[in-house]
Amino acid sequence: MKQVDVAIIGAGPGGYVAAIRLAQFKKNVVVIEKENVGGVCLNIGCIPSKAMIHASEIYQKMHHAAEIGFTVGSVGIDVKKIQNWKEGIVKRLTGGIGQLFKAHKIDLITGEARFKTRRMLLVKSAGGEEEVAFDSAIIATGSSSAIIPGFKPEGKYVGTSTEGLSYSEIPKELCVIGGGYIGLEIGSLYAGLGSAVTVVEATASLLPGTDPELVQVVARELRRRNVKVLLNTKAVSWKEMGGKAKILVSKEGKEEELTSDKILVAVGRVPNTKNLDLEKIGVALDAKDFIKVNDQLKTNIDGIYAIGDCAGQPMLAHKASKEGLVAAAVIAGKRELYDVRAMPAVIFTTPEIATVGLDEAEAKAEGYTVKTGKFPFVASGKALASGETDGFVKMVVDAKTDRVLGLQMVGAGVSNLIGEAALAIEMGATSEDMARTVHPHPTLTETLMEAAETVHGTAIHIFQK
């Protein structure tokens, strides 16, 4: 039997970050991971999808290079090589975490853990079963792709994001079920690589929950890529016919049949809180099977913590990491708290969407008198020089104090601008603070400064009456 200070179940961006921080606090840590270090994020999520999106962007740029003055012949795609390149990136990252674990003397067990008691795990691995007794445990088991009835991955046609990032060839036709961020990121990347993509979305809009002003810009690019978007449409069933998948969809009672080479099911994610024997030790879950935690990431059972996707929305890698840091500090006896005012979120569609803080509607709902400023990328020298002028930066401020409440952006590269916005909110900056901060020229960061100026009607590069 092993006896450790802290046992962590799951080595994703929540679990591995918590493990390293606990090691820094001189705690004796064991991490139990059932698959690969790095979790969904590094292995089959954030990182491989970004690599594939990058590949798709390069392909797109080669096609549009003629506009600048290049003579481009036909561009071939070697999917196998692209996949190898992507796997290489994943290996480097996961290998890096493995090395950090070694350097910190963190014990990594590849296996499945379940709770035997409130202070002991039963770990099943290739080497058999062993007991791991702990003082504290962190559940960081993440989430899995949700499946809808009738569309269970079967190995050939139907798959989730995992399969969608590993197709051995570019599907001629791709049917994406779900118009949320995963469906649109992957759908849009294959559309960029030449697939004929159809998106089937059950609600009335793409990216439900995202400011329609932002979604509109992405929808325009999807149209340019000839992506067919079916709103208010439900996927009913599918069958194989003549080497293709035939999908039956229903739009407001009217049925329609689509054909496709692949079906990508991207209808959300569900927490991995089964098969841990949580019920046996009495860890409470909410109605959606997320583990209930307080703002110190404590579950209802003393000494047991939960972080990341399995502990509730939003399901974001960086939220998991932050919670991992807080849980580690709490375990180490610090008076830490999950005290986050600005949780940024990025959607890696083309163009990208990035948000942090409150949008205009949310701010009004919270009772603020709101002022906004909006600056379009078409007025940015850097955006023009890069040939990517779609989108804008919008800033929402409290009219009374001028304090920045939120920023919403859509455009190429906005994922790299949102960090400044998050810092502004955490620091309680005013829009004038942001306007008065010198931003380097020519960069996209200037658009934040200009958006702040537009709040006061004093932008330089657009005319305001």
> Which residues, in sequence order, are bridge partners of residue 159?
264
Which CB, 106 or 404, lies closer to other proteins?
Answer: 404
> Residue 445: which of 412, 420, 408 has the closest Cα?
420
Which CB, 216 or 401, lies closer to other proteins?
Answer: 401
Which CB, 403 or 456, lies closer to other proteins?
Answer: 403
Pairing mode of beta strands 158-159, 304-306: unpaired
> Residue 37: which of 105, 104, 111 has the closest Cα?
111
Name the site residues for other proteins (rule: CB under 8 A).
294-296, 333-339, 401, 403, 426-428
Which CB, 393 or 405, lies closer to other proteins?
Answer: 405
Pairing mode of beta strands 352-357, 370-376: unpaired
- Inter-CA distances, 208 with 132, 202, 224, 440, Å: 43, 10, 21, 35
CB-based contacts of 411, cutoff 8 Å, min separation 6: 217, 351, 352, 377, 383, 388, 390, 391, 392, 393, 444, 447
Rounded-to-integer distance, Cα 307 and Cα 93, Å? 21
Rounded-to-integer distance, Cα 347 and Cα 214, Å? 11
Rounded-to-integer distance, Cα 187 and Cα 170, Å? 12
- Inter-CA distances, 226 with 150, 176, 193, 269, Å: 27, 14, 12, 27
Nearest distance from residue 421's CB to other proteins, in Å? 15
Nearest distance from residue 116's CB to other proteins, in Å? 25
Catalytic residue among 63, 104, 441, 456, which? 441
The 3-state DSSP class for residue 151 equals coil
Catalytic residue list contains 439: no
> Which residues, in sequence order, are bridge partners of residue 125?
111, 128
- 70 CB burial (10 A radius; 0-12, 13-18, 19+): exposed
**Structure tokens, 72:** 């481009």
Rounded-to-integer distance, Cα 313 and Cα 271, Å? 10
- Inter-CA distances, 391 with 221, 346, 355, 379, 380, Å: 11, 14, 13, 10, 11
Which CB, 72 or 427, lies closer to other proteins?
Answer: 427
- Cβ(42)–Cβ(93) below 8 Å: yes
- Cβ(100)–Cβ(17) below 8 Å: no
- Cβ(92)–Cβ(276) below 8 Å: no
> Residue 270: which of 286, 294, 281 has the closest Cα?
286
Nearest distance from residue 426's CB to other proteins, in Å? 5
Rounded-to-integer distance, Cα 47 and Cα 62, Å? 23
Which CB, 46 or 342, lies closer to other proteins?
Answer: 342
> Per-residue DSSP letters for 62-124?
HHHHHHHT---------HHHHHHHHHHHHHHHHHHHHHHHHHTT-EEEEEEEEEEETTEEEEE
Where in the sequence numbering do the catalytic residues fall? 441
